[in-house]
Amino acid sequence: MPYILQSDRERLDPKIKELAETINTDQRAGELNYTITKLLLALKGNGKYKDYNELMGALESAKLEFYRREIAPYEDTKIEENGDVY
């Protein structure tokens, strides 16, 4: 989960904001994929299963939390606007 200590957020957030501002919105998908890949490669450690598993778990958890907090509410709004399918 992304709920880390406030002191860790204060250390990381300015760097994350700066990096996000350098992403070209016309090429956002490719540049975001590249950025995530390079970060994973930098953090893979010795490349043991434990390292890979930890990184994949973080990616999966971030994906699920992003869906839960951002996408699901958007979809709920669209259901209200356009009617449910189920």
Give the span between the Cα atoms of 40 and 62, in whole angstroms: 14
Range of the domain at 83: 46-86
pLDDT in tens, 58-80: 999 999 999 999 999 999 999 99
Contact criterion met (CB below 8 Å) for 44 and 51 = yes
pLDDT in tens, 19-46: 999 999 999 999 999 999 999 999 999 9
Same-domain status, 35 and 51: no
Q: Is the pLDDT of residue 48 over 90?
A: yes
Same-domain status, 35 and 3: yes
Can you give the pTM of this predicted structure? 0.86
Q: Is the pLDDT of residue 51 over 80?
A: yes
Position 84, amino acid:
D
Q: Chain-wide mean pLDDT for the chain?
A: 96
Count the domains in the chain.
Answer: 2
Same-domain status, 20 and 39: yes
Contact criterion met (CB below 8 Å) for 72 and 64 = no
